Amino acid sequence: RSMEVIVPDEFLPIAIGKNGQNVRLASKLTKWRLDVISETRYSEAMRNGYDSLVALPGVSISMADALYEKGCFSAEELGNAAVEDLIQIRDVGTTEKAEKLIKTAKDYVAKIKEVEATSEEELSDDLIEPTNQNGSETSSLSGDQKDSGEEAGNEENVSEED
C-alpha cells in the first residue's frame, strides 16, 4: 500500500523532516508507504502526462479529457490499462477501439524510451570523445592515451611496492 502526499512547495521540507524523519514516522503510524512531493512537481508530472495523451495518434482533446477524468493520466498508464476499463469511458466505447488505444500508447511509450536512450548514449559519446571547433577529435577522456615509457615505468614501481 502506498500513497502520494502532495504538499505546498514551502511546506515540503517540513513534511519530509530532518533526514526524512517526519515521513518515516507518518509511514509507521499509517502503515503505508508515503511519497511526499511538492505541488509544483505534481502539477508538472500531471501536465506532462496529459500532453502525452494528447500526443497519441487518434486521441482527441475530448478523449484525453475523458481518460484523464477516469484516472488515466498518461500514455504509459493508458498502455497498462485494461480493455474493460477503457470501454466504460465515453469516446472509447468498443473493445476494438480500446485495444487500438492500448497498442498505440504502448508503441508511443516504447518509441519515447528508445529516443531517450539514444539521446543519453549520444550525450555519453560526446563526453567521451569531444571534438574541437573544426570537427576533428580532441584528446579522449576515456583513458586511451598512450603513456610515455617513463610514466609506465613509474606505475610499475608503484604497483610493486604495494
Domain at 7, CATH number: 3.30.300.20
pLDDT bracket for residue 38 (50, 70, 90): very high
Domain for residue 113, yes or no?
yes
Distances (CA, A) of 139 to 96, 129, 132, 134, 146: 56, 7, 9, 14, 11
pLDDT confidence of residue 119: 74
Residue 61: which domain range? 55-128
Write out the three cell numbers for 114: 528508445
pTM above 0.75, yes or no: no
**Among 23-32, 84-93, 102-111, whose mean pLDDT is lowest?**
84-93
Percent of the chain having pLDDT more than 70?
A: 75
Per-residue pLDDT of 105-131, as tens digits, reads 999 988 888 888 887 777 666 666 555
